[in-house]
Amino acid sequence: MRTIFLSSDFEIRSSLQEKTSDVVTFLVPKKYLNRVKISDRKKLPKRLPGLLKKYSKYIASTKRLNKRAGKTLYQANEGKGNMQRINARIQTKDWILLGTLAQAHGVSRCYLFNYLLWLDQIGVGDSISNVLNSGAPTFHKYYKFILLLDLSKNIITKRLEFEPNPIRFYSRT
- Look up the pTM and report it: 0.81
What's the average model confidence in pLDDT over 78-82? Answer: 72
- The whole-number pLDDT of residue 141 equals 79
Measured CA to CA, the distance from residue 63 to residue 131 in angstroms comes to 18
Return the top range by mean pLDDT from 28-32, 84-88, 103-107.
103-107
Per-residue pLDDT at 134 exceeds 80? no
In the DSSP assignment, the letter for residue 43 is T
- Quote helix, strand, coil % in the chain, to nearest 5: 35, 20, 40
Give the HSE-up count for residue 115: Cα atoms under 13 Å, Cβ half-sphere.
24
